[in-house]
Structure 1
Amino acid sequence: MTPDEAVAAAPVAAAPRRRAAGDPVKTLLHRHRALCEQAVDPLEIAAGLEARGITDRTAARFRHRDVFSLAEELYARTPRGHEPAEPAAARPRDARALRGIGLALLPGAAALAAAAAALPYAGALAVAATVAALARPSATGRAPRGRGSLAVHLAAAAAAGWAVHRHGTPLGVALALAAAPGHLAAAAFAARARRRLAASRALEDFAASARPLLLAGAAAQTAAAAGAAALAGAPLAAAVPLAVLLFLARLLLCHGAPWPPVAAALAVAAVPAAPAAPAAAAGLLALALPVLARASAHTRT
C-alpha cells in the first residue's frame, strides 16, 4: 500500500467508532431491546423506561427533551419483522366491558338476595362476595395474582369481616353494593389516565394531570359508598372508609403496585378501633397518589 492509500484509509476505519460515540441512543436501544421490540407504541416504551428509573432529566443526556421524545426515537429505530397488530374490534371490547359490569353487579345482588331471604349467614356471604370482587381484572386487564394476592384477600376478609361482625349484615350489603360503582370509577380513571398519557409530553406533566383524576375517582367512590350505605341501612362512618379502602386496594394492585403496603393498610383497618378504617384509607390514598401518577402504572398487558 502506498503512503497516500494508507492516509486515505485511516479516516474510514475510524468513522464507525466516531458514529458509535456520537449516538448515545444506540447503546440505550441495545440495553432495552426487549422492551422496545415488545412495545405496541412509543407510550409503552416511555412507561417502561420510567419504570426502570429513566426520567426526563436522564433523557436530556441522550439529547432528548423528555422521555416521550426518547421513546419515540427508540420505537422508530427498533427493527420489526411485521407490522403491529391491528387493534381489537370495538364489538369484542364492548362485550368485555358489559361482562365486566355484569360481574361487578354480582356481589351486591348476591348480598341483597341473601339479606332479603334472611339467611343465617347473610353477613358472611356479603363479606365473601365483597372480597371476591377484589380479584376481578381491571380495565387494564390486570388482577391481583400470586401469594401477594392471597395476603391481600385475607387482610380484606379480616377487615370487612370484623366490621360486619360489629355493625351487622347491612354493612356487608353496603360494601357489596359499592363494588359496582367502584368498578366503574376504576375503569373511568384508567381510561382518562391513558388519554392524558397519550397527550403528555413529559412525565411531570402526566403526573400532575393524573393525581386529580385519582382524587376524582376516590370522591366518586366515596359518594357511591354513602349511597350504598343509605340503601342498605348501614352506618356511614363504618361503610364509607372501608369501601374506599377496598376500592383503592384493588386499583393499586390492578395497576401493578406492590402488595405489602396494601395488605398492611387492610390489616390496620381490621384493628377494633373507630379511627382505624379512615386512617387506613387515608394512608392508602397517600400511597396511591404517587404510584398511580407514574406512566408505568398505565401500560397495557
Structure 2
Amino acid sequence: MDPLEIAAGLEAHGITDRTAARFRHRDVFSLAEELYARSPREQVPAAAPTPVPAGPSAFRGFGCALLPGALAFGAAAAGQAWAGPAAVAATVAALVWPGRAAGGRLPSLAHLLAAAAVGWAAYRHGTPLAVGLALAVAPGHLVATAFAAGARARLDGSRALEDFADRTRPLLIAAVAVFTGAAAGAAALAGTPLPVAVPFALLLFLTRLLLRHGAHRGPVCAALALALIPVPAAVLAAAAGLLVHAVLALSRASAHARP
C-alpha cells in the first residue's frame, strides 16, 4: 500500500478533511501519510521485476471490446436471424467483463437487469438498436479507460478530497460527452434512431463505469429497472438519474484506489 491507497480507504470509511483536522492534520492525505509512516512493514529483498508490457495488454483489451460490434454488425449485414440476440448477448457480456474484474463475482442482479433491459429494447425497437449498442462497446471501453487513467493521475496530484472531486467532475462530464458523440455515430451506422439509441447507450456506459469502480449497485439496478418501463422517456430519465449518481460516486477518491 501507499499513502494514496490509505487516503482512499479512509474516505471510504467516512473520514473527511474535517475529521483529519481533529488529529491536527490539514487533510485526509496528510493523515494518510502519517499512518503510512507509522505502519510497520517487513524489509524483504526486492525481487527482480518482471517486465510486463502494457502495450500488448491494452491492445488485447481493445480487441475484446471490438468483438461485440464486429459480431453484431457482421451478422446483421449478412441478414442472419440471430443478429439481434447475438448483439444483446455480446453487449451484456461487455458489461460483465469489467464488473468481474472489479469484484471477481459472477453476474449480479445489475447484469441480469441490463440483459433484460437490452433484450426488451431490442424486441421493441428492432435489431438495429441492439447492433448500435454493440458498436458503442468499443468507444465505451476507450473512454472508460481514459477516464480511469485521468482520475488516477488527478488523485496522485491532489492534496485534499474536495480538490480531487473538483478536478474529477469535469473529467467525467467530458468522458460522458465524448461517449455520447461516439454512441450517436454508432447508432447512425446501425441505422437506428438517435433519440432511442443514445440514452440507452449512455445508460449502459454509466453502468459499466460504476460497476468497474466499485460503486453501490442499488442505484444502478434502480436505473436499469426504470429502463424496462415501456415509456419513451423512461430510458432518458434512467440515464439522467444514473449520471447524477455517477458524478457523486466517481468524484470520490475511494472509487479510484488501485485494485
1:151 maps to 109
Alignment partners' CA distance in 2, 1:263 and 1:299? 23
Q: Tell me, in whole angstroms, the C-alpha distance in 2 between the residues paired with 1:244 and 1:185.
A: 12
Q: Does 1:233 align with 2:194?
A: no
Counterpart position of 1:185: 143
CA distance in 2 between partners of 1:142 and 1:223 (Å):
27
- Tell me, which stretches of 5 or more residues in structure 2 are unaligned? none
TM-superposed deviation, 1:143: 5.2
Give, in whole Å, the separation in 2 of the partners of 1:60 and 1:252.
Answer: 30
Secondary structure of the residue that 2:215 maps to in structure 1?
coil
Shift of 1:93: 2.3
> Partners of 1:183 and 1:101 in 2: how far apart?
7
Deviation at residue 267 of structure 1 after TM alignment = 1.2
Assess if the C-alpha contact under 8 Å between 2:62 and 2:141 holds in 1.
yes
Relative CO higher for 1 or 2, CA cutoff 8 Å, sep ≥ 6?
A: 2
Larger radius of gyration: 1
Paired residue for 2:62, among 76, 83, 101? 101
| Residue matched to 1:77 | 38
Matching of residue 142 in structure 1 with residue 102 in structure 2: yes
Q: Displacement of 1:91 after TM fit? A: 4.4
| Identity across the alignment (%) | 65
Deviations, residues 98-148 of structure 1 (Å, cap 9, x unaligned): 11101100100110111122111211110111011001237x9525734xx
Q: Answer yes or no: is the 8 Å Cα contact 2:98–2:211 preserved in 1.
A: no
User: Relative to structure 2, which stretch is displaced further, 209-218 or 81-90?
Assistant: 81-90
What is the distance in 1 between the residues matched to 2:183 and 2:124? Answer: 18
- TM-score normalised by L of structure 1: 0.82
- Paired with 1:157 and 1:165, the residues of 2 have a C-alpha distance of 12
How many angstroms does 1:80 deviate by?
0.7
- Residue 223 of structure 2 contacts residue 238 of structure 2 at CA under 8 Å; is this kept in 1? yes
- Mind listing any 5+ residue stretches in structure 1 that lack a counterpart? 1-38
Please report the TM-score for the alignment, with normalisation by the length of structure 2. 0.95
1-side partners of 2:181 and 2:48: how far apart?
35
CA–CA distance in structure 2, aligned partners of residues 229 and 81 of structure 1: 55
Partners of 2:135 and 2:18 in 1: how far apart?
45
Distance 1:206 1:84, change over 3 A: farther
Q: Aligned partners of 2:111, 2:256: CA distance in 1, in Å?
A: 23
1:41-62: CA deviation from partner (whole Å, max 9, x where unpaired): 1100000001111110010111
Any idea what SS the aligned residue of 1:201 has? Answer: coil
Contact 1:144 1:254 in 2 (8 A): no
Measure the CA separation in 2 of the matches of 1:95 and 1:84.
Answer: 29
Q: Give the CA deviation at 1:154.
A: 1.6
Q: Which residue matches 2:134?
A: 176
1:211 and 2:169 matched: yes
| Cα separation, partners in 2 of 1:233 and 1:66, compared to 1, 3 Å | same
- 1:122 lines up with 2:122 in the alignment: no
- Residues 117 and 293 (structure 1), Cα distance of their counterparts in 2 relative to 1, 3 Å cut: same
Aligned to 1:35: none
Give, in angstroms, the shift of residue 263 of structure 1. Answer: 1.3
What's the offset of the Cα at 1:166?
Answer: 1.7
Cα RMSD over matched residues?
A: 2.0
1:93 is matched by which residue type in structure 2? Answer: A
Structure-2 residue corresponding to 1:112: 73
2:152 is the alignment partner of 1:194: yes
Letter in 2 for 1:110: L
Aligned 8 A contact 1:144 1:253 in 2: no
Find the counterpart in structure 2 of residue 294 from structure 1. Answer: 252
Which residue identity does 2:184 align to in structure 1? Answer: A
